Amino acid sequence: MNNKKYLAYFANSADYNINHILVGNPLLLSKLCEEFEKVYLIGFQNLVFFPPKKKENIFKFDKQLKLPKNLELFCPLNWRDFSNFMIDKNLIAIHGFARGFPELKVHLLLKKYKIKFIQVSNIGNIQGVYRSLKGSFLKGLWEKVKHDYSHNLTVLLSNFDLIKKIEIRFVTDSRMLAYRKNNKRFFHKIFNYLNLHFAKELIIVNSRSFDQTKEQNITVSEDLIILLDAPFNNYQYVAWRGILDKKQLDKHYYHMRIFLKNLSSTYNKEVVICIHPTENLEIIKKNYPEFKVVQNKTRENIFKAFIVLFHDSSAVIDAILLKKKIITLTSSLMDQNQIDGIDEYVNRVGMLKLGIDNKMKINKDDLLLKLEENTENYSNYIKSTIAPDGNNIGYEKIIKTLKERFF
């Protein structure tokens, strides 16, 4: 029997919330659904090592987000569910889960199914590099085992044909392609010659931000001061340094509110707080009672921004592409991993860094001049990491390649 080919997106969301998928790359998702008969979004959170104690077979998402009619959600409770689903199907799957230790089980078991993997890395942001922190050595060691070592183990097992490799990885960071081609180290040459990489082939595409800016007719203005708020108790930070308690968080939000009020009064602009798609809106509103807090509307607000503030958010890529005035913020509560991530943006993009803990007096004209000068520094980053493929629309190249190679 010839099984029918379908396109799928493989996700792994520990809390079953897929808002970040639906909001993160809506244009690509909608275009895939337009071009293919049916697209499956499949969650593997129940099938990893150490799954949630209470397994669910449904996804959570904001009901205001409209799903394409031919996007079918599937969250198997166990491997029998998934095997029954696969009986009459061959899948071309967008690989959307990690290579940590919990996901190793999924990688190993998927080997027996008729699936070809591709990967889409088209955000254009700077990936954090995490390390053990003072006073958190054991936590750091465990994270190394779960992520770095299991990452390398996954690559090793793929070269023994125990785990499926990625057929094509679409990337926005042109340095990745240059590194693979030009690295002269002996072992790297062997990797290239024998094609021992986890992704067999890299193809450059423009970022999702580039695509959306080209496709969507959104008016650009300078009406607002936007804060791209990121949770301090993000699971990645917590894994390396532990949870910040309420007293510590209250101190951070106190200083943040003072800074925002100061900036708002200096430039006579309204402040809008944009939060992550998976955050609890009502809780964040309590942290910023004087300001408007919105969710799933980050992009449209960045287009209206006079100044964009952030400390850890991939949404800043839209602001860089639009050459908005950007300030990256630091706090005394940030650990070294957070500071290192901020410094990467400062060094590679060329944006201004300010601390929120000290009540600084803002010189209106001097700050504005610095911010306007800094926007001229964005061009190199845009060319290498956001729009490295000329004027080509990224999703069109992805869809064209999928159809030519797999369908």
341 & 400 share domain: no
Mean pLDDT to the nearest integer, 172-196: 80
Instruction: Say yes or no to pLDDT of 62 above 90.
Output: no
- Phi and psi dihedrals of 318, rounded to 5? -60, -40
| Sheet containing strand 89-96, strands side by side | 71-74, 39-43, 4-11, 89-96, 115-121, 166-171, 202-204
Backbone CA torsion sign across 177, 316, 148, 106? negative
Which string of DSSP letters, residue by residue, matches 78-124? SHHHHHHHHTTEEEEEEEES--SHHHHHHHHHHTTSSEEEEEEE---
Split at pLDDT 50, 70, 90, the class of 3 is confident
Measured between alpha carbons, how far is 296 from 22 in angstroms, rounded to an integer? 10
123 & 19 share domain: yes
**Tokens at residue 125, please?**
């942001």
Instruction: Say yes or no to pLDDT of 325 above 60.
Output: yes
pLDDT at 17: 82
pLDDT at 232: 76
Contact call for residues 226 and 193 (beta carbons, < 8 A): no
CA distances from 111 to 75, 107, 201, 255, 298 (A): 19, 7, 19, 51, 38
Mean pLDDT to the nearest integer, 9-21: 80
CATH number at residue 74: 3.40.50
Split at pLDDT 50, 70, 90, the class of 1 is low
Q: Write 308-312 long-range contacts (CB < 8 A, 24+).
A: 308/226, 308/228, 309/225, 309/226, 309/227, 309/228, 309/260, 309/263, 310/227, 310/228, 310/230, 311/230, 311/338, 311/342, 312/128, 312/230, 312/234, 312/338, 312/341, 312/342
Measured between alpha carbons, how far is 307 from 327 in angstroms, rounded to an integer? 7
236 & 300 share domain: yes
Measured between alpha carbons, how far is 203 from 395 in angstroms, rounded to an integer? 12
Whole-number CA gyration radius for the chain: 22
pLDDT at 301: 97
378 & 268 share domain: yes
Nearest to 9 by CA among 55, 80, 59: 59
176 & 227 share domain: no
Collect all residues with Cβ–Cβ distance below 8 Å to 41 and sequence separation of at least 6.
Answer: 8, 9, 11, 18, 21, 59, 71, 72, 73, 74
Q: Which residue has the tokens 């290239």?
A: 192
CA distances from 307 to 92, 118, 256, 297 (A): 41, 37, 15, 16
- The model's pLDDT over 136-167, given as tens digits with 9 standing for 90+, comes to 556 666 666 666 677 888 989 999 999 999 99
Give how many domains the chain has, as a whole number.
2
Q: Which of 181-185, 244-248, 287-291 has the lowest mean pLDDT?
A: 181-185
pLDDT at 146: 64
174 & 103 share domain: yes
pLDDT at 20: 84
184 & 195 share domain: yes
304 & 357 share domain: yes
pLDDT at 5: 95
Mean pLDDT to the nearest integer, 352-365: 88
Range of the domain at 67: 4-206+388-406
Instruction: Say yes or no to pLDDT of 242 above 60.
Output: yes
Contact call for residues 65 and 22 (beta carbons, < 8 A): yes
Instruction: Say yes or no to pLDDT of 305 above 80.
Output: yes
180 & 220 share domain: no
Instruction: Say yes or no to pLDDT of 127 above 80.
Output: no
CATH number at residue 311: 3.40.50.2000
248 & 366 share domain: yes
CA dihedral 89, 163, 8, 26 (to 10 degrees): 180
Mean pLDDT to the nearest integer, 273-288: 92
- Phi and psi dihedrals of 305, rounded to 5? -80, 140
pLDDT at 142: 65
Q: What is the 3-state secondary structure (H, E, C) of 259-271?
A: HHHHHHHHHCCEE
Split at pLDDT 50, 70, 90, the class of 53 is confident
> What is the pLDDT of the chain when averaged over all its residues?
89
232 & 139 share domain: no
pLDDT at 192: 76
Q: What's the pTM?
A: 0.90
Sequence length of the chain is 407
Query: One-letter amino acid identity for 201?
Result: E
**In this prediction, what percent of the chain has a pLDDT beyond 90?**
62
Measured between alpha carbons, how far is 208 from 304 in angstroms, rounded to an integer? 19
40 & 176 share domain: yes
- The model's pLDDT over 24-48, given as tens digits with 9 standing for 90+, comes to 889 999 999 999 999 999 999 999 9
Q: Which of 94-108, 177-191, 224-238, 339-353 has the lowest mean pLDDT?
A: 177-191
Split at pLDDT 50, 70, 90, the class of 203 is very high
